[in-house]
Amino acid sequence: MKSERRAALLFLAPALVLLTVFFFAPVVAGFALSLTDFDLYTIGDPHNIRLVGFDNYRELIGSSIFWTSFVNTMYFALVGGPLTVAVSLAAALLINAKAARFKALFRTVYFAPVVTTLVAVSIVFKYIYHPRFGMLNRALDTLGLPQPDWLGNPKLAMLAIIILAVWKGFGYTMIIFVAGLQQIPEELYEAARLDGAGAWKQFRHVTLPLLAPTFLFVGIVVAIGQLQIFAEPYVMTRGGPLNKTVTMVMLMYEQGFKFWKMGYAAAVAFVLFLVIGAATLVQLKMQEKR
């Protein structure tokens, strides 16, 4: 018993030390940092650091670029999140259909974008979205449809990034939905059929309610991921046009690592943390109500 405790300590030591020093301590320090005026001069001489209370948060609330990044991030999450969930549920239903053949092949194909490198596919999509020679506008041209400047138009840029994010991410949640669907007992569908329920009624009254726990998990995972959006706009638009694709993480990166306004950037990061926490809590509460 005593030797077991000592062994446990040794087995846990590397993980606990690494997580404490390189994850938990920096997170706590991040909050402390957000209460200081840490900037370029502090990097040169650490003695310059001053506690400024919640000044960074006040500056944040008063600055328009912060609100722009907040609105952009929420737009990306609130449109892109549900869209990803809808597309992945549809794909899961198709793949899971009894009549479907080559399930493994389709699963691999739909999942492939998930494992690709975000930076690389962002570059690929940047060219696909090119107003003149991009493949998307050429297809629209063939169909006789208008051909917008996807990434150059302030109204469309974030939408174009959302489409990339859905393409990149739906395979992941699809797999989770397939796992959820396979746990629904076949007898329930049989009973519903005996009661004369058609495909839609079966979906509405058997599939959806029984997928509720899966929806909760998917919703939380997708929201956490979406709110951290950074690489797509960094590569495709650099936050433009007209700051329409500046996100909260991007603002944190630029303020913190380009201008070295680390106190301010840490405050941005903490607000992001609160937003993610709120998004998780809201979904947990919604689930409880149901």
Partner 1 sequence: MTRRVDTIVLHGVLIAGGLITLFPLFWMLSASFMTSGEATTFPPHFLPHHGTLAQYRELFLRLNIGRAFLSSAIVAIAVTIFSVLFGSMAGYAFAKLRFGGKQRIFGLLLIALVIPPQVGMLPLFLLMKTFGLVNSYWGAIIPSMVTVFGIFLIRQFMLSVPDDLLEAARLDGASEWRIYWTIVLPLARPILATLATFMFMSTWNDFMWPLIILSDQTHYTLPVALANLSGEHVLDVELMMAGSVVTVLPVLLLFIALQRFYIAGIMQGSVKG
* One of 89, 128, 151, 161 touching partner 1 (CB under 8 A): 128
Does residue 12 touch partner 1 according to CB under 8 A?
yes
User: Which residue from 61, 124, 145, 191 is in contact with partner 1, where contact means CB under 8 A?
Assistant: 124
Q: Which residues 199-228 are close enough to bind partner 1 by CB under 8 A?
A: 214, 217-218, 221, 224, 227-228
Least gap, CB of 52 to partner 1 (angstroms): 16
Site string for partner 1, 223-262 (x = CB under 8 A): -x--xx-xx--xx-------------x--xx--xx----x
Tell me: does residue 176 bind partner 1 (CB under 8 A).
Answer: yes
Asked whether position 86 contacts partner 1 by CB under 8 A, the answer is no
Q: Which is nearer to partner 1, 92 or 192 (CB)?
A: 92
Out of 88, 206, 265, 283, name the contact with partner 1 by CB under 8 A.
265
Q: Which two tokens stand for residue 245?
A: 């694709």
Residue from 49, 52, 55, 138 that binds partner 1 (CB under 8 A)? Answer: 138
In this chain, which stretch among 58-66, 71-79, 98-106, 190-198 interacts with partner 1, using CB under 8 A?
Answer: 98-106
Shortest Å distance, C-beta 199 to partner 1: 9
Q: For partner 1, which stretch binds (CB under 8 A), given 60-68, 77-85, 100-108, 143-151?
A: 100-108
Q: Are 91 and 170 in contact (CB under 8 A)?
A: yes
Q: Which of 81, 169, 180, 219 binds partner 1 (CB under 8 A)?
A: 180
